[in-house]
Structure 1
Amino acid sequence: MTKPVLFDYYRSSASYRVRIALHLKGVAFERVRVDLVTGAQKSDDYRARNPQGFVPLLEAEGLRLTQSLAIIDFLDARYPEPRLVPADPGERAHVLAMALTIACDIHPLNNLRVLKYLVGPLGQDDAAKTEWIARWIREGFAALEAMAAPRAGAFLFGDAPGLADICLVPQMYNARRFDVPVDDFPTLLRADEAARAHPAFAAAHPDAG
């Protein structure tokens, strides 16, 4: 079987999530760098693959898959072990809610295109950008801490990494990159530490090559 091909950018949170999932599933894959800083994602060639002009894009089994959580859902169905989302409906809803808190409510407000618009057309300075980033990360993390704490184990849900942790680790990486204080979130810190010690998460790290 031909290896899946992941079109990604090393520091993209959404791409980071998919790399983690692929490594957790033990799926060998090839990577194609799409440089977001130079605007390679907007090229006609790339938009022919993904009309949104976003990363990640996974080409697998004759399919072109976009949106990180949709790609991970495909991987969870295609490679059932280890399971990333619980089978129990209530547990599944809980894990999805935590993952979506990050992927839909925190991350989009701090991604590159939003920050570029903030300092470009809207004319905000670096101090305003830093305040913007910290505001939305800390507000989202406060909610996530309250959601996770009652049912967390070593990870955000139980003692094995899952979808919520896949979303958490890249967002914690971003928080540290922008010097956002995270000491108020002990459950998130514990889960992040456990996840980053896992070989699959380490292999997916932006600095791993």
Structure 2
Amino acid sequence: MKTLILASSSPRRKELLENLQLTFEVSSSDVDESYDPKLTPEEIVMELAFRKASFVSQKHPSAYVLGSDTVVVAGNEVLGKPQEKSDAFQMLKKLSGSTHSVYTGVAITRENESIKFFEKTDVTFWELTEDEIHGYIQTGEPFDKAGGYGIQGFGSMLVKEIKGDYFSVVGLPVSKTARELKKLGFDLPF
């Protein structure tokens, strides 16, 4: 039997894989997520996704190991996860009334094979008032999400438009991931 392991403790990524009715295990990858600031956003997310998948793959070399990472880019600035309320406020203020890009990188490793890819989705926010930003921060949702928002939760009320893969913004480009798993020989429901 082929084993699939999600190298992430993200409940959102777990839920997206469950929606495909795939049988998989979860093994959190405790890796250093720092990166060279000279890297492009696509290089950052693919490198971090590969780092996560490789870490878990060392313990499970014959399994299909799936790693993923997401960053938000506003202008030329890469936004990670806010550490405190003031970080979240500054990020959301920056995203207000403008379009930003969400990059999600995926790496799949198996024995001596690996595939890396990324998806880029453009997200436009409504113009937000300071009260709206503070109200959203009070939900607690911004703190474990790149860019300080979750499109699948309360953050959906901030979003005016998206161009690209919605699931990539949630944290995993599901369709592309399934196709890449299939290329590596993993059995899918159809």
> TM-score by structure 1 length?
0.30
Structure richer in helix, relative to its length:
1
Structure richer in strand, relative to its length:
2
> TM-score by structure 2 length?
0.33
